[in-house]
A and B are shown apart, each in its own frame.
Chain A
């Protein structure tokens, strides 16, 4: 059978191959889009924390205040003025804030210590500036939480002797938030439930007594 000759210079295209071209176009477009937009996102979740019931406008004050506690201090002062953070909080925070305004590197490095063990002071780093220090920070959170766990066996609550005393996270206003979560996470991992947040004396004049 004789073959039909196509005009010179015209490509041979069948209906089937044309359809495939469009399909491949779409597939490639989507593939490129997904490749460019793909981001291995970490899962977001939360850590639960309870706030006190006796500090609200309509709350009734507690009759027997809690006198026992285990306190973890985090100080954002580059000069290790932990004593000032503990003794003269408001003045110390104002001082650090002024330092920050003056361009001093405040809060990149924090010092932490645990009550009843003042000899031990450790350095916590801001992982935004020191990304390799996350493991170092984590080791400190874990070690301190271990110490708290041991202490809580002997430090009982004044209100209810059957319970352990509360653990207070006393964090300087200039310290990065990540340390708060680091400690909260490792304390909760050790089933330490009664964790409280120390207030900030700078805001006392506006929002009432900070409590702890």
Chain B
């Protein structure tokens, strides 16, 4: 069968036309720049428990202490790893890991920006606990006990997803 010979337009340059690809790339870059919210870098991807009457969280509060507790108990505060559950072998090792958290609470307690005036040294700030719905409650219990004892924290916000439907 005879093949039809296609003649090349002499005005067309050699190689692929890159203009549309560059267009698309720029469009996507601009899109990502606009939608990336760096204020939420402290938020870990978790499956939060559901609740009906949640109040919308305002992450703009700079004093907010955001604690993420992953399903295995791993704890991250404001993006910083505090306790890595995968590397824990004994209760003593756990205890050592949590001294970091103790220090964090103590540092805040020394700063008048975070503390209410008065003898009790109660925290002015809110602690926002984002825990995975399946995490063992003991991880949250330990955090609450430490926050009360070392941080003088009295106001806790528990992160939850707004319940779907009725």
**Residues in chain A within 8 A of chain B (CB atoms):** 7-11, 21-22, 25-26, 29-30, 33, 42-53, 55-60, 93, 107, 126-128, 134, 171-182, 184-185, 188-189, 197, 199-200, 202-203, 206-208, 210
Known: A25-B23, A182-B49. 17 other contacts (CB 8 A): A42-B164, A43-B162, A45-B56, A55-B148, A59-B120, A171-B137, A171-B141, A174-B136, A174-B138, A176-B137, A178-B134, A180-B137, A184-B158, A200-B141, A202-B138, A206-B95, A207-B149
CB distance from B90 to the nearest CB of A (A): 12
**Which chain A residues border B164 with CB–CB below 8 Å?**
42
Q: A174-B136, A175-B136 are in contact. Are A26 and B161 (CB under 8 A)?
A: no
Partner of A56, one of B27, B48, B131, B152: B152
Q: Secondary structure at chain A's binding surface: helix, strand, loop or mixed? A: mixed
**Which chain B residues border A208 with CB–CB below 8 Å?**
145, 149
CB distance from B114 to the nearest CB of A (A): 14
CB distance from B150 to the nearest CB of A (A): 7
CB distance from B138 to the nearest CB of A (A): 3
Q: Does B113 contact A (CB under 8 A)?
A: no
**Which chain B residues border A11 with CB–CB below 8 Å?**
9
**Which chain A residues border B121 with CB–CB below 8 Å?**
56-58
Taken residue by residue from 120 to 144, chain B's Cβ proximity to chain A (1 for < 8 Å, 0 otherwise) reads as: 1110000010011111111111101
**Which chain A residues border B16 with CB–CB below 8 Å?**
none
Q: Is the CB of A181 within 8 A of B20?
A: no
Q: Is the CB of A48 within 8 A of B149?
A: no
Q: Does B51 contact A (CB under 8 A)?
A: yes
Q: CA separation between A57 and B115, bound complex, in Å?
A: 14
In the A-B complex, the 4 residue pairs with the closest CB atoms: A45-B54, A173-B138, A9-B7, A46-B157
Size class of the B contact interface (CB-based, 8 Å): 35 or more
Can you list 30 residue pairs at the A/B interface with Cβ under 8 Å? A7-B9, A9-B7, A26-B23, A30-B27, A30-B31, A44-B161, A44-B162, A45-B54, A45-B162, A47-B53, A48-B155, A53-B154, A56-B122, A56-B149, A58-B120, A58-B152, A126-B134, A176-B136, A177-B69, A178-B49, A179-B137, A181-B133, A197-B141, A199-B144, A200-B145, A202-B138, A203-B145, A206-B95, A207-B146, A208-B149
Q: Does B74 contact A (CB under 8 A)?
A: no
Q: Does B52 contact A (CB under 8 A)?
A: yes
Q: Is the CB of A181 within 8 A of B149?
A: no
**Which chain B residues border A128 with CB–CB below 8 Å?**
47, 133-134
Which residues of B from 2 to 42 have beta carbons under 8 Å from A? 5-9, 19-20, 23-24, 27-28, 31
**Residues in chain B within 8 A of chain A (CB atoms):** 5-9, 19-20, 23-24, 27-28, 31, 47-57, 69, 95, 98, 119-122, 128, 131-142, 144-162, 164
- Nearest A residue (CB) for B136: A174
- Nearest A residue (CB) for B56: A45
Q: Is the CB of B137 within 8 A of A47?
A: no
Q: CA separation between A55 and B95, bound complex, in Å?
A: 20
Q: CA separation between A162 and B83, bound complex, in Å?
A: 43
**Which chain B residues border A10 with CB–CB below 8 Å?**
7, 9
CB distance from B155 to the nearest CB of A (A): 6
Q: Is the CB of A51 within 8 A of B161?
A: no
Q: A26-B23, A45-B55, A56-B148 are in contact. Are A177 and B160 (CB under 8 A)?
A: no
